[in-house]
Amino acid sequence: MKKIVFLVNPNSGVNHSRKALLKDYAAQVLDAEKYTWEIIFSKSAGHLFELSKSAAENGADIIVAVGGDGTVNQVAKGMFGSSAVLGLVPAGSGNGLAHHLNIPVDIPASLEVINKAEEKVIDTCSVNGELFVSIAGVGFDALVAKKFAETKRRGFLSYLNIVTNEYTWYRPRKYKLNIDGKIYKREALFVSFANTNQFGYNTIISPDASIEDGLIDVCIMKKVPLLLAPGIIGLLLTRKIDSSGYVEIIRAKEVSFTRRKNRPVNIDGEPVKLTPELTVKVNPASLRVLVPGSAK
């Protein structure tokens, strides 16, 4: 019998009532001859980390993050380096990692993925030692992450409203990036470090990103003239942004640079204060996760 621990972020996403039904869904879907399971609701992001660490230390075979990318981040940090396998029940706002891995956002369907227990070994990354699984970044996307964390309204419309309100006045910044020993000087709206292909909501910043190639996709985005912005959003949503001429993608193992001001860094959708000097690295093949059979 394998032991599953579900760690639930009760505050993530927009549909809290469905998470309350997780116990009923699990009883209907999970194979009682293969698994025992328990559901634990967290009190905070830090509590998620502690619960995950404790579950791994106490022999959980599968630890399931029930929430969005921020929830996944804390659960992955807590279990990192253990023999436990990460499961996903996407119940957050953007659900970037789940979308990348083709895990359905319907809770019973995502439980069926766990029930079948097909594993993939994936890369993780870090910024100044802070683990991330999906994407990190500086510039405009970090500002959006900060504003989104401050609002009480969740969901895509809230996210889009923040992007729309902040975009007009935001001034691109100059970056001097050391990418695998080569210097790149760029002026950019944002620089994202993509392990997966997207920010969430299926907004694809790096269409060909692989989560198992041992590389980070460094995505350097220029600011698009306001009149062209709707078309660029369309390209983000249709996996064609790399054909726009406004984004440059460089694959790397390590990136370092220094910012002029100590603004927040976007780490898996959450704003995190770090030092102005940043180093981004890949941790190849460092996390096991349950996926559908055809996940890229």
What local confidence, expressed as pLDDT, does residue 18 receive?
A: 61
Alpha carbons 53 and 55: distance in angstroms, whole number: 6
Tell me which range, 55-59, 105-109, 165-169, is most confidently predicted by mean pLDDT: 55-59
Measured between its terminal Cα atoms, the distance across the chain in Å is: 29
Amino acid at 202: N
Alpha carbons 139 and 264: distance in angstroms, whole number: 9
What local confidence, expressed as pLDDT, does residue 296 receive?
A: 45
DSSP-assigned beta bridge partners for residue 234:
none
Delimit the CATH 2.60.200.40 region(s) of the chain.
Answer: 130-284
Alpha carbons 70 and 87: distance in angstroms, whole number: 14
Write the pLDDT tens digit of every residue in 91-144.
887 899 999 999 999 999 999 999 987 999 999 999 999 999 999 999 998 998
Model pTM? 0.91
**What CATH number was assigned to the domain covering residues 130-284?**
2.60.200.40
**What CATH number was assigned to the domain covering residues 2-117?**
3.40.50.10330
What local confidence, expressed as pLDDT, does residue 129 receive?
A: 96
Please report the DSSP string for the chain in residue order.
-EEEEEEE-TTSSS-HHHHHTHHHHHHHHS-TTTEEEEEEE-SSHHHHHHHHHHHHHTT-SEEEEEESHHHHHHHHHHHTTSS-EEEEEE-SSS-HHHHHTT--SSHHHHHHHHHHT-EEEEEEEEETTEEESSEEEEEHHHHHHHHHHH-S--SHHHHHHHHHHHHTTPPPEEEEEEETTEEEEEEESEEEEESSSBSSTT-BS-TT--SSSS-EEEEEEPPPPGGGHHHHHHHHHTT-GGGSSSEEEEEESEEEEE-SS---EEETTEEE---SEEEEEEEEEEEEEE--TT--
By the 8 A CB rule, do 256 and 223 touch? no
Write the pLDDT tens digit of every residue in 226-273.
777 676 676 677 667 777 778 999 999 999 999 988 899 999 989 999
Delimit the CATH 3.40.50.10330 region(s) of the chain.
Answer: 2-117
